[in-house]
Amino acid sequence: MTIPLEPWLQQTALELENRSQLYKEQELKNYFVPFLRNLLTKLPSLPASDQELVSLQQKIEELVSLIPPTYDVKSKEYRVYLSKVDSLKSKLKERFKLVRKGHYKTIWLPLGIAIGLPWGAAFKNIAMGIPIGLCLGLFIGSYLDSKAEKEGRVI
């Protein structure tokens, strides 16, 4: 059974806004509300089958329903919520190659430092290897982030 997409998008966006209206900016980020908003706008353009689309709709509905009316990151429900968000993000990345803004920088900055440390050690100056690796990681991460943005894969 396919749920009509346009009315569902409007209804889900409205429910998301109602559940998160009392949250501050950082609280919205902790509950991945901007991510869900962006996903709702990106959903119609995904090359998904009807079955995949229904599955994504169900997962998004479940996440929206799990957002509590008051902010509480210490609850067990919050941990369950985070695991469901991570599951959705990994599915989106695996199937549609969608990533969050800054995803590749987050990955490549520490990798660059890890690559720079042995180079610094090889030249007997570890302190010089760290900024070299940092620059390398920042360059690669920025390049991959801009490439993903140009391809329209950023949520």
pLDDT per residue over 38-59, tens digit each? Answer: 999 999 888 888 899 999 999 9
List residues bridging with 154 in a β-sheet: 99
Please report, for the chain, the start and end positions of each structural domain, with discontinuous segments joined by +.
Answer: 5-96, 103-150
Nearest CA to 146 out of 81, 91, 114, 102 is that of 102
CA distance 73 to 50: 34
Q: How many CA atoms lie within 13 A of 40 on its CB side?
A: 23
pLDDT tens across 88-146, in order?
Answer: 999 999 999 999 999 999 999 999 999 999 988 888 888 899 999 999 999 999 999 99
Q: pTM above 0.85?
A: no
The DSSP H or E segment spanning 151 is none
C-alpha 109/C-alpha 13 separation (Å) is 34
Residue 91, C-beta contacts closer than 8 angstroms, at least 6 positions apart: 59
- Are 72 and 24 in contact by the 8 Å Cβ rule? The answer is no
